[in-house]
């Protein structure tokens, strides 16, 4: 299916009362470009401020002095904005619907009043453990309400949280605890998922062997499974919550005080701690949540992401709760107990907005439409996708079988770094094209640059790398503890612009099509993975001399992980060793980093100066040997023929 041949999908009927109407989009977008101070000065009022801001935007993208500040003299508290201010009108409204992994367990409806009580108590437990304003708290929890309580409790007392995805290994957890200098880690006993249980407490015990012995461990007894218990270090949070006072006064915070650190993979080195601050981030998360999903009072909204990723931060917790919404948290997986689970949950809770990843859609599509058709999905109004480019086939299936052609699909392009949606359609305002993220959100200024000359590609029908040439309130402010790295990573390559790392095309209508990462980051099932991280895990194995990792097209995952491994002299490549290396990477990083294919590579293509030619390895992994390009600079061109002859088949 040629993308150009795909027609526009008009806005379905029933969106006449959408929050943004077709005639509004261009007008508001122009205003956001021409008068950012006026536009954002007004939008900032979505939030309740203790001291109102007098300055709106103060940002500089100049290399060497990059500085990003929004609402800089405003004072607010994020937890108050997500909870307290809703209490007068919606104390009894459901804030969080918790749908457990096991469909036979009852769902829980947590009202704003109950959320308030839990968060206040949780905050008092943190205070009782000596956590103070500006201290870091690592949260290693699955998709349970306590994850949201913990995040909001940090926000209430001005502590900075760093959520670590519960699928990460003890080593990955330890690295994040150490890099952030956390005082406390919050975990639970075990985490049910797809009928199995992950031992999070024992993972945390293993991680803490590599951390300062001052780090306290707060444990949520979620399943009641037995765990080891270290007196003096481990704290039973739920029991403590009963003991402490029910009220915790919110700490007034500056708009630019950090709210959280979230580690994400880059093209080089270890994961970076992306720092988001309080005022701009919350304003942006709230506004995009409301407008992109066309969220109306009383709607039930469900984002299937995990709180361990940025999508869970902005679109399960902060955006929806700032808007006083009802947000669903799902503990399980799409395939348990069967491939109908997503749709069963949509029917059961009468979900109005449903937001998921293309990889989930593709895998459910493979199970056949009968799983969808069993359920009443008439409550659905808006469908969303995020995490990777969606292939038109999956888009059309989603539209037809899930949305029944009456739900607009919002394909939301954004990143951990951007805090919220950047290029996305709006349900009542923008016509869609399957596979295109469509148009920029308000205040977002995309530019397409030639990758080598850095020249701006003006007009439509152009292709290049995607940058943003001006700031927006949700933008990350720095890399934790390393502002120079922040500037080098995002502002050095294309001076004056924030560089996304993605390629993109702007078509004849001015619509944006994200073509995927142009750096050494791969996107596996919507999870970001740095090839360098997987490589360093592999070479940490005693039998591995060298490793090079690239992505290759994968039917379900979008991209798969292809590893070329050179073994130490005298080590025999065997199937056992292959399994051993797979298991090794799982323990070093986590299951999401496990290579899909390992090719034994007696030699790797290198330049005469010893640099691995990753471009060639990528082409071989992609089955694209016709386009290997210039191999004359290789120190040993024969290596390439050997690699091609022994490549791993993936159809
Ligand atoms: C990719 C996830 C195409 C992109 C919110 C980006 C997408 C990376 C889309 C960020 C989309 C995300 N279409 N590609 N709608 N959404 N991406 O930081 O490559 O986990 O740079 O944030 O995912 O991944 P991250």
Residue entry with tokens 């991209």: 559
Q: SS3 of 119, please?
A: helix
Does the predicted TM-score (pTM) go above 0.80?
yes
**Cis peptide, bond prior to residue 337, ω within 30 of zero:** yes
Measured distance CA(573)–CA(153) in Å, rounded: 51
Model confidence at 218: pLDDT above 70? yes
In this structure, the number of other CB atoms found within 10 A of the CB of residue 539 comes to 14
544 assigned ligand-binding residue: yes
Q: How many whole angstroms from 386 Cα to the centroid of ligand 1? A: 7
Share of the chain above pLDDT 90, in %: 92
Instruction: Give me the mean pLDDT over the 315-323 stretch.
Output: 98
647 assigned ligand-binding residue: no
- Of the candidates 438, 406, 434, 435, the one whose C-alpha atom is nearest the C-alpha of residue 422 is 438
Question: Who lines ligand 1 at CB under 6 A?
Answer: 264, 309-311, 386-389, 411-416, 437, 500-502, 514, 516-517, 523, 528
Distant-in-sequence, close-in-space partners of 536: CB < 8 Å, separation ≥ 6 = none
Q: How many whole angstroms from 232 Cα to the centroid of ligand 1? A: 42
Helix axes 170-180, 575-588, angle to 10 degrees: 30
Q: SS3 of 110, please?
A: strand
Q: What is the pLDDT of residues 488-524, one digit of tens each?
A: 999 999 999 999 999 999 999 999 999 999 999 999 9
Q: SS3 of 512, please?
A: strand
Q: Which range is least confidently modeled, 154-158, 225-229, 365-369?
A: 365-369
Nearest residue CA, atom 10 of ligand 1?
Answer: 415
Tokens (6 digits) for 564: 């070329």
Label residue 3 by pLDDT band (50, 70, 90): very low
Tokens (6 digits) for 262: 């979230």
Q: How many whole angstroms from 436 Cα to the centroid of ligand 1? A: 13
Q: What is the pLDDT of residues 463-475, one digit of tens each?
A: 999 999 999 999 9
At the top level of CATH, which class does the domain 525-646 belong to?
Answer: alpha beta
pLDDT recorded at residue 650: 80
196 assigned ligand-binding residue: yes
Tokens (6 digits) for 217: 């461990």
Model confidence at 298: pLDDT above 50? yes
Distant-in-sequence, close-in-space partners of 644: CB < 8 Å, separation ≥ 6 = 620, 625
Instruction: Report the side by side order of strands in the sheet with 258-264.
Output: 234-236, 216-220, 184-188, 136-139, 160-163, 258-264, 272-277, 478-479
DSSP string covering 129-142, please? Answer: TT--TT-EEEE---
Share of the chain above pLDDT 70, in %: 99
415 assigned ligand-binding residue: yes
pLDDT recorded at residue 1: 42
pLDDT recorded at residue 626: 76
pLDDT recorded at residue 553: 93
DSSP string covering 449-502, please? Answer: E-TTT--B--SSSEEEEEEESS--TT---EETT-HHHHHHHHHSSSTTSEEEEE
Best mutation site among 266, 388, 516 for ligand 1, i.e. most ligand atoms within 8 A of its Cβ? 388
In this structure, the number of other CB atoms found within 10 A of the CB of residue 492 comes to 13
Q: SS3 of 319, please?
A: helix
Run of H or E including 261 = strand 258-264
Label residue 542 by pLDDT band (50, 70, 90): very high
Nearest residue CA, atom 12 of ligand 1?
Answer: 387
Measured distance CA(245)–CA(252) in Å, rounded: 20
Size of the chain, expressed as the number of residues it contains: 651
In this structure, the number of other CB atoms found within 10 A of the CB of residue 424 comes to 26
Residue 260 sits at the vertex; the CA angle it makes with 257 and 266, to the nearest 5 degrees, is 120
Q: SS3 of 10, please?
A: coil
In the chain, where the domains are located: 525-646
Q: Contact at 8 Å (CB) between 292 and 426?
A: yes
Q: How many whole angstroms from 523 Cα to the centroid of ligand 1? A: 8
pLDDT recorded at residue 488: 97
Tokens (6 digits) for 188: 């639970």
Please tell me what DSSP assigns to residue 20. S
Instruction: Give me the mean pLDDT over the 61-72 stretch.
Output: 98
- Any idea of the CA torsion for 129, 135, 140, 146, to the nearest 10 degrees? 60
């Amino acid at each position: 299916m040629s993308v150009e041949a795909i027609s526009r999908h008009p806005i379905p009927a029933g969106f006449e009362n959408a929050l943004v109407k077709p005639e509004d989009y261009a007008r508001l977008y122009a205003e956001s470009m021409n008068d950012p101070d006026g536009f954002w000065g007004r939008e900032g009022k979505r939030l309740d401020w203790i001291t109102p801001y007098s300055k709106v935007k103060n940002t500089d993208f100049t290399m060497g002095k990059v500085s990003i500040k929004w609402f800089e003299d405003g004072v607010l508290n994020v937890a108050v904005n997500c909870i307290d201010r809703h209490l007068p009108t919606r104390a009894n409204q459901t804030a969080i619907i918790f749908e457990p992994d096991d469909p036979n367990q009852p769902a829980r409806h947590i009202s704003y009043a109950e959320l308030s009580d839990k968060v206040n108590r949780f905050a008092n437990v943190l205070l009782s453990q000596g956590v103070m304003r500006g201290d870091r708290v690592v949260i290693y929890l699955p998709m349970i309400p306590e994850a949201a309580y913990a995040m909001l409790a940090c926000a209430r007392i001005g502590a900075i949280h760093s959520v670590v995805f519960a699928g990460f290994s003890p080593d990955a957890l330890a690295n994040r605890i150490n890099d952030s200098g956390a005082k406390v880690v919050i975990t639970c006993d075990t985490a049910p998922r797809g009928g199995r249980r992950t031992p999070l407490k024992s993972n945390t015990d293993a991680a803490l062997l590599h951390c300062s012995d001052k780090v306290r461990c707060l444990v949520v007894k979620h399943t009641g499974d037995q765990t080891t218990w270290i007196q003096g270090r481990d704290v039973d949070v739920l029991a403590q919550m009963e003991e402490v006072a029910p009220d915790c006064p919110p700490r007034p915070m500056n708009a630019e005080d950090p709210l959280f650190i979230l580690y994400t993979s880059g093209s080089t080195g270890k994961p970076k701690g992306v720092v988001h601050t309080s005022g701009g981030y919350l304003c942006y998360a709230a506004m995009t949540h409301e407008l992109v999903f066309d969220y109306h009072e009383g709607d039930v909204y469900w984002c299937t992401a995990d709180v361990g990723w940025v999508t869970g931060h902005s679109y399960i917790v902060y955006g929806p709760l700032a808007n006083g919404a009802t947000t669903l948290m799902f503990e399980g997986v799409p395939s348990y107990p069967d491939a109908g689970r997503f749709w069963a949950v949509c029917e059961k809770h009468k979900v109005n907005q449903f937001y998921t990843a293309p990889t989930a859609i593709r895998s459910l599509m493979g199970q056949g439409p009968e799983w969808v058709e069993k359920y009443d999905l008439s409550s659905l109004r808006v469908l969303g996708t995020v995490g990777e480019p969606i292939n038109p086939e999956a888009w059309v299936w989603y539209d037809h079988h899930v949305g029944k052609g009456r739900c607009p699909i919002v394909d939301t392009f954004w990143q951990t770094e951007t805090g919220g949606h950047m290029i996305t359609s709006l349900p009542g305002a923008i016509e869609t094209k399957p596979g295109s993220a469509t148009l920029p959100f308000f205040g977002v200024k995309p530019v397409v640059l030639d990758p080598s000359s850095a020249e701006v590609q003006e007009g439509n029908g152009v292709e290049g790398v995607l940058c943003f040439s001006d700031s927006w309130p949700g933008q990350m402010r720095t890399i934790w503890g390393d502002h120079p790295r922040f500037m080098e990573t995002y502002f050095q390559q294309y001076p004056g612009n924030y560089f996304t790392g993605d390629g993109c095309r702007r078509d004849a209508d001015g619509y944006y099509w994200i073509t995927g990462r142009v750096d050494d980051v791969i996107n596996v099932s919507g999870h970001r993975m740095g090839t360098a991280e997987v490589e360093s895990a592999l070479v940490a194995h005693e039998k591995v001399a060298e490793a090079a990792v690239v992505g290759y097209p994968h039917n379900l995952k979008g991209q798969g992980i292809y590893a070329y491994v050179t073994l130490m002299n005298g080590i025999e490549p065997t199937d056992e060793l292959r399994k051993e290396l797979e298991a090794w990477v799982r323990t070093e990083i986590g299951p999401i980093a496990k290579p899909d294919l390992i090719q034994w590579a007696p030699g790797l293509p290198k330049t005469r100066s010893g640099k691995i030619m990753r471009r060639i390895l990528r082409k071989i992994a992609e089955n694209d040997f016709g386009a290997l390009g210039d191999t004359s600079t290789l120190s040993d061109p024969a290596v390439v023929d050997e690699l091609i002859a022994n490549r791993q088949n993936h159809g």
